[in-house]
Amino acid sequence: MKILENKRQIETFLKVLRNRSSGKGKDNLENKVRIILNNVRKQGDRALIRYTKTFDSLDTKSLRITPEDITKFSNKAPKKVIEALKISAERIRTFHKMQKEESWSFSEGNNLIGQIIRPIERVGVYVPGGKASYPSTVLMNVIPAQVAGVKEIALCVPTPRGEINPYVMAAIKLLGLKEVYRIGGAQAIGAMAYGTETIKKVDKIVGPGNIYVATAKKMVFGEVDIDMIAGPSEILIIADDSANPIFIAADLLGQAEHDELASPVLITISKKLSDAVSRELKRQLSGLSRKEIARMSIDNYGAVIITKNIKEAVELSNSIAPEHLEIMTEKPMDILPLIKNAGAIFLGEWTPETLGDYSAGPNHTLPTGGTARFFSPLGVYDFIKRSSLLRFSKDGFMKLSKIVKTIAIAEGLEAHGNSIAVREDYIDR
């Protein structure tokens, strides 16, 4: 892993990080996704069946995974996995219940002003499939919607060559989902966004996916709402001499194995620690089954950055705004108030990012690529709508009428002012 110490090296590396998701073939990719989405919108199920055969090597006329199949395949999951999913689901649900918002209002005499909180009616959840199975994605995306009170949840998960993953089905059964479809990729996003003969249109789409899925979500935004445009995974660790290099190397590799574009970064004030972590990375990397993926991530988008002091390390972290931020210092709570931008913050050596991926409770769907500057983790608040509530009496209207009319006239909106004036005339009669 490269070690960066001077300003020019660091700036060059940060530029590489910012540009890692934008490849030369972006325009060509968008054209391909646009064609898929248009075909799904025009042809509905026919397009889904054709794309499922092309991309998933599955020739089927049935797009739905029935409740019977969900039960059948979930029963193939080992009991210890099912038990782990149950415990994780309970913790995730407990955490997200704390995020619930309630409607509120206050009175000004006979006037009433407030806000009504309602759940989104129908949500689509995308769960990746193929190279790996992600039951945790089911839990993290469905539970906040259920806590919010969403009535209808449709889930799409690809089943390449017809292979239905028992772990994913176990998570689906645990949460009581009934509406599940065996489609993936941009075509699944199109189906949920536009609706087909089989799949009813949703109001919002959430869940991670490959570059085709991410691009499709970006393109259908406006037709439906989406959670966020997720990029490659990333971890940033701030550490001092007190940190354990074995733990740090393990946590960096935990993100590096996601994919070749993942970014594992250590910022430290200790040259001794950086050398120790580099040695540990080589040792631990050699034993990983996904070592080639992890090695490319480390070589291309990983770095050890050495700063003069912790303050400088924190400032650099805030500018990067990482998805996952681990603080492995002697007194991590002293640093916490200085952190401005991070998707999730993990304090101390016994709080590895992996806890947050699965069982701690907070959501693992986090902003990436620096968007933690303005985005938040997925939560109950992503599945609600807020409506403003107003009720004014005649006296309340009269107290504001002249003020409103003055502003309307100043903005040159005559009809706005007239909606006030006609009521004033009616009262004067």
Distance CA 346, CA 301 (A): 21
Angle made by CA atoms 141, 145, 148, in degrees to the nearest 5? 150
Do 241 and 136 sit in the same domain of this protein?
no
Active-site annotation holder among 96, 258, 324, 364: 324
Mean pLDDT of 104-132: 93
Do 271 and 293 sit in the same domain of this protein?
yes
Is residue 33 a contact partner of residue 216, using CB atoms and an 8 Å limit? yes
Mean pLDDT of 389-416: 96
Print the domain residue range for 403. 392-428
Is 366 within the bounds of a domain?
Answer: no
CB-side exposure of 355: number of CA atoms within 13 Å?
Answer: 14
Do 86 and 213 sit in the same domain of this protein?
yes
Active-site annotation holder among 323, 326, 349, 353: 323
Mean pLDDT of 386-401: 96
Task: For the chain, report the end-to-end CA distance as a whole number of angstroms.
Answer: 82
Considering 226, 261, 286, which residue would you say is the last residue of a domain? 226
User: Residue with structure tokens 């650099």?
Assistant: 316
Q: What is the pLDDT of residue 133?
A: 80
Instruction: Convert the pLDDT of each residue in 283-297 to its tens digit.
Output: 999 999 999 999 999
Is 148 within the bounds of a domain?
Answer: yes
Q: What is the pLDDT of residue 230?
A: 82
Mean pLDDT of 389-418: 96
Do 183 and 325 sit in the same domain of this protein?
no
10 Å Cβ neighbour count for 134? 19
Give the torsion sign (CA, 290, 278, 260, 133): positive
Q: Which has the closest alpha carbon to 91: 155, 145, 146, 139?
A: 139
- Contacts of residues 108-113 at CB distance under 8 Å and 24 or more positions apart, as own/partner, are 108/396, 109/393, 109/395, 109/396, 110/393, 110/395, 110/396, 111/391, 111/392, 111/393, 111/396, 112/389, 112/390, 112/391, 113/389, 113/390, 113/391
Mean pLDDT of 58-82: 95
Is 120 within the bounds of a domain?
Answer: yes
Mean pLDDT of 200-213: 95
Between the CA of residue 95 and those of 92, 143, 153, 380, what are the distances in Å?
A: 5, 10, 20, 10
Is residue 250 a contact partner of residue 288, using CB atoms and an 8 Å limit? no
Give the torsion sign (CA, 170, 175, 180, 183): negative
Do 239 and 221 sit in the same domain of this protein?
no
User: pLDDT band at residue 40, thresholds of 50, 70 and 90?
Assistant: very high
Distance CA 195, CA 45 (A): 9
Is 353 within the bounds of a domain?
Answer: yes
Q: What is the pLDDT of residue 25?
A: 65
Do 257 and 181 sit in the same domain of this protein?
no
Is 111 within the bounds of a domain?
Answer: yes
Considering 226, 248, 276, which residue would you say is the last residue of a domain? 226
Predicted structure pTM score: 0.93
Do 200 and 322 sit in the same domain of this protein?
no
Do 289 and 420 sit in the same domain of this protein?
no
Q: Which has the closest alpha carbon to 369: 212, 236, 232?
A: 232
Do 74 and 48 sit in the same domain of this protein?
yes
User: pLDDT band at residue 22, thresholds of 50, 70 and 90?
Assistant: low
User: pLDDT band at residue 218, thresholds of 50, 70 and 90?
Assistant: very high
Higher pLDDT, 32 or 20: 32
Do 195 and 214 sit in the same domain of this protein?
yes
Do 11 and 86 sit in the same domain of this protein?
no
Mean pLDDT of 270-281: 95
3-state secondary structure of 113: strand
- Encoding tokens for residue 87? 């415990």
For the chain, the domain total comes to: 3
Is 379 within the bounds of a domain?
Answer: no
3-state secondary structure of 325: strand
Is 383 within the bounds of a domain?
Answer: no
Distance CA 343, CA 320 (A): 11
Considering 199, 226, 253, which residue would you say is the last residue of a domain? 226
pLDDT of 125 > 90? The answer is: yes
Do 303 and 408 sit in the same domain of this protein?
no
User: Residue with structure tokens 């009319």?
Assistant: 405
Mean pLDDT of 18-37: 83
Mean pLDDT of 370-387: 96
Q: Lowest-confidence range among 17-26, 59-68, 128-137, 364-373?
A: 17-26
DSSP-derived pairing of the beta strands 104-108 and 111-119: antiparallel
Q: Compute the mean pLDDT over every residue in the chain, rounded to the nearest whole number.
A: 95
324 is catalytic: yes
Mean pLDDT of 88-102: 97
Q: What is the pLDDT of residue 21?
A: 66
CATH of the domain at 288: 3.40.50.1980
Q: What is the pLDDT of residue 27?
A: 81
